[in-house]
């Protein structure tokens, strides 16, 4: 690195020890940089440390949802096709030990503020550990703080009056909670809630599910990992990773124990029978693959309506009570929200100890000492109340830190109308600050470990250019982030997604600007944009300049 860096405590400080942070530490150390990772949790793992609620598991195949490091990926044996949270956490600890990264990670240390020092062209950081503040300086700052990491805790009146046990899906006690014989209530019926509900129902005395919005679930069909399948993937990893990176969808190319890369085909013009045949195959294969069947299923109203009918029929078949089935059939078009992959979720409602309560029709009035009271006066007695109410997605983690760029500009001021970035990587006026798997990146529409690996390599190339320029300070122009924000918006705008309230649209957090939080144009397009910016002599970036509104493009 350039000489000036030596006057900083670190070349790079990375915040967060999830997939992104671990990748950054490994690759940046290999590049000879002085890197330190700070993590607020007492463990590495990021989302897989925090989300340890009953039933938490990944719904992209673990063989795909893992770090694409050629020297490592054949050496870990997954026990299940869709790994559970404990196995994912073990995997991440194994990676950290195997790559000898542990000495580069400081746990239980939270970044509280970061201020750009324009004279020294680097960052002054304040971190808190065990109640005391520590200060560090770094040339570059990488926020690998996760797309889905800041919990959404709705302000429900009376929550503090509850005398039973109150839990949030994102902060489950490490020691576990014994739910046997208890009256349990779950608020939230999306990916986290679905996993909790289907897992705890057989153990609890009574389960009350408070549903505001039903979601379209499809079966995961998890199974013990077939050894010959794992071996085949290990033997073919190079080709599989290439296909994943070439995938315009979620980056998953394995479907039902076979390789099934997305084909570029549309559903419009096909008969209902033809569409149903394809969806039936995918329903049986398991995993979140219905959306990958036809590229227009998220755009074409007619094709999407057929998918609605297909899935509605499935719910009616699976749920005994027609009235319960009716409540479980969503109103929004399929795939306009993240569809949960489930394991007997719908069948759970056939159990005599499970009750579905529609809190859109009869909203929660308040929480009381012994349960939940609805507006109608209905009173649901509970021993345990679980909130599975999600996250402030995308921008939430960065905005929870006091970040000040050039001239003291705060990130919350700059993002007052929503996150604005170039490529989800940088934001104007905050030089030398990078986001991994951040807002407006493809993270939540692709595979976060794969995206993180690409972004870290890309950032390293940018840093090399800076080193060569002799002026290691980089910003992005206001025009470039305007352009990227429009691209992100236009891609969602060409689909049915904006019609539905979801965290994809920032609509789950009161007061949050209603805007797409992620790039949904597919990884190949993202890579193209990123490479174009790089090849055009870092176009859209501002190297060594003082005024971020000036573009080199």
Report the C-alpha gap between 117 and 68 in whole angstroms.
36
The DSSP output letter for 35 is E
How far apart are CB 123 and ligand NAP at their closest, in Å?
A: 29
Residues 427-466 that bind ligand NAP (CB under 6 A): 444
Among 193, 291, 371, 418, binds ligand NAP (CB under 6 A): 193
Among 23, 389, 421, 455, binds ligand NAP (CB under 6 A): 389
Binding segment (CB under 6 A) for ligand NAP, from list 1-9, 53-61, 199-207, 536-544: 53-61
Interface with ligand NAP (CB under 6 A), residue total 25
Using rule CB under 6 A, residue 187 touches ligand NAP: yes
Strands (E), 33-155: 35-38, 105-106, 109-117, 122-129, 132-143
Binding segment (CB under 6 A) for ligand NAP, from list 66-74, 189-197, 292-300, 513-521: 189-197
Residues 96-155 that bind ligand NAP (CB under 6 A): 148, 154
Binding segment (CB under 6 A) for ligand NAP, from list 51-59, 92-100, 234-242, 490-498: 51-59
Binding segment (CB under 6 A) for ligand NAP, from list 279-287, 289-297, 342-350, 388-396: 388-396
Residues 167-186 that bind ligand NAP (CB under 6 A): 169
How far apart are CB 151 and ligand NAP at their closest, in Å?
A: 9
Report the C-alpha gap between 125 and 63 in whole angstroms.
37
Phi and psi, residue 211, nearest 5° = -105, 125
Cα-based angle 364, 359, 367 (whole degrees, multiple of 5): 20
- Residue 356 or 542 having the CB closest to ligand NAP: 356
Among 59, 64, 87, 383, binds ligand NAP (CB under 6 A): 59
Residues 342-381 that bind ligand NAP (CB under 6 A): 359
- Residue 333 or 390 having the CB closest to ligand NAP: 390
The DSSP output letter for 78 is P
How far apart are CB 233 and ligand NAP at their closest, in Å?
A: 19
Ramachandran quadrant class, 214 (left: phi over 0; alpha: psi -120 to 50; beta: rest):
beta
Give me 545's structure tokens.
């300049």
Output the CA–CA distances (angstroms, integers) from residue 436 to 51, 251, 548, in the order listed.
20, 17, 21
- Residue 367 or 538 having the CB closest to ligand NAP: 367
Using rule CB under 6 A, residue 189 touches ligand NAP: yes
Output the CA–CA distances (angstroms, integers) from residue 94 to 78, 98, 100, 227, 413, in the order listed.
12, 6, 10, 20, 40
How far apart are CB 166 and ligand NAP at their closest, in Å?
A: 14
Q: Is the separation of the CB atoms in 284 and 276 below 8 Å?
A: no
How far apart are CB 65 and ligand NAP at their closest, in Å?
A: 8
Using rule CB under 6 A, residue 335 touches ligand NAP: no
Three-state SS sequence of 208-251: EEEECCCCCCEECCCCECCHHHHHHHHHCHHHHHHHHHHCCCCC
Rounded to a whole number of angstroms, the distance between the first and last alpha carbons of the chain is: 26
Q: By the criterion CB under 6 A, which residues form the site for ligand NAP?
A: 57-59, 148, 154, 169, 187-193, 195, 212-213, 338, 359, 388-391, 444, 503, 508
């Amino acid at each position: 690195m350039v000489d000036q860096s030596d006057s900083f405590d670190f070349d790079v400080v990375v915040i967060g020890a999830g997939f992104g942070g671990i990748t950054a530490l490994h690759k940046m150390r290999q590049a000879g940089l002085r890197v330190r990772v700070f993590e607020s949790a007492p463990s590495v793992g990021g989302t897989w440390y925090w989300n340890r609620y009953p039933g938490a598991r990944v719904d992209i195949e673990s063989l795909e949802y893992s770090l694409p490091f050629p020297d490592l990926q054949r050496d870990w044996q997954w026990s299940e096709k869709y790994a559970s949270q404990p196995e994912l956490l073990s995997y991440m600890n194994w990676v950290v030990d195997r790559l000898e990264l542990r000495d580069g990670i400081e746990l239980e240390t939270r970044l509280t503020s970061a201020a750009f020092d324009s004279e020294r062209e680097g960052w002054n950081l304040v971190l808190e550990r065990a109640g005391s503040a520590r200060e560090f300086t770094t040339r570059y700052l990488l926020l690998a703080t996760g797309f889905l990491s800041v919990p959404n805790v709705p302000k429900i009146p009376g929550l503090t009056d509850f005398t039973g046990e109150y839990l949030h899906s994102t902060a489950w006690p490490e020691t576990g909670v014994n739910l046997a014989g208890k009256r349990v209530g779950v608020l939230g019926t999306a990916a986290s809630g679905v996993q909790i509900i289907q897992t705890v129902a057989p153990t609890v005395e009574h389960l009350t599910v408070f549903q505001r919005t039903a979601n379209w679930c499809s079966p995961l069909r998890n199974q013990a990992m077939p050894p010959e399948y794992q071996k085949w993937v290990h033997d073919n990893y190079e080709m599989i990773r290439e296909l994943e990176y070439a995938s315009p969808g979620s980056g998953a190319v394995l479907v039902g124990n076979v390789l099934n890369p997305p084909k570029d085909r549309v559903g419009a013009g096909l008969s209902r029978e033809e569409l149903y045949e394809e969806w039936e195959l995918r329903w049986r294969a398991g995993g979140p693959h219905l959306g990958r069947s036809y590229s227009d299923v998220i755009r074409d109203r007619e094709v999407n309506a057929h998918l609605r009918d297909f899935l509605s029929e499935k719910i009616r078949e699976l749920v005994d009570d027609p009235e319960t089935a009716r409540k479980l059939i969503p109103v929004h078009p399929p795939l306009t929200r993240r569809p949960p992959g489930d394991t007997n979720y719908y069948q759970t409602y056939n159990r005599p100890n499970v009750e579905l309560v529609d809190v859109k029709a009869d909203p929660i009035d308040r929480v009381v000492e012994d349960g939940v009271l609805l507006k109608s006066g209905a009173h649901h007695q509970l021993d345990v109340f679980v909130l599975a109410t999600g996250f402030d997605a995308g921008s939430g983690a960065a905005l929870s830190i006091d970040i000040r760029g050039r001239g003291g500009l705060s990130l919350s001021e700059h993002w007052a109308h929503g996150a604005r970035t170039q490529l989800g990587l940088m934001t104007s006026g905050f030089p030398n600050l990078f986001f991994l798997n951040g807002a407006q990146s493809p993270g939540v529409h692709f595979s976060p470990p794969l995206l993180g690996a690409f972004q870290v390599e890309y950032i390293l190339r940018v840093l090399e250019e800076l080193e060569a320029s002799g002026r290691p300070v980089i910003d992005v122009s206001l025009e470039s982030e305007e352009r990227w924000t429009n691209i992100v918006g236009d891609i969602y705008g060409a689909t049915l997604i904006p019609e539905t309230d979801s965290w994809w649209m920032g609509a789950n957090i009161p007061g949050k600007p209603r805007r797409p939080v992620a790039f949904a144009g597919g990884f190949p397009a993202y890579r193209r944009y990123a490479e174009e910016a790089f090849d055009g002599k870092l176009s859209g970036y501002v190297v060594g300049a003082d005024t971020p509104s000036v573009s080199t493009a």
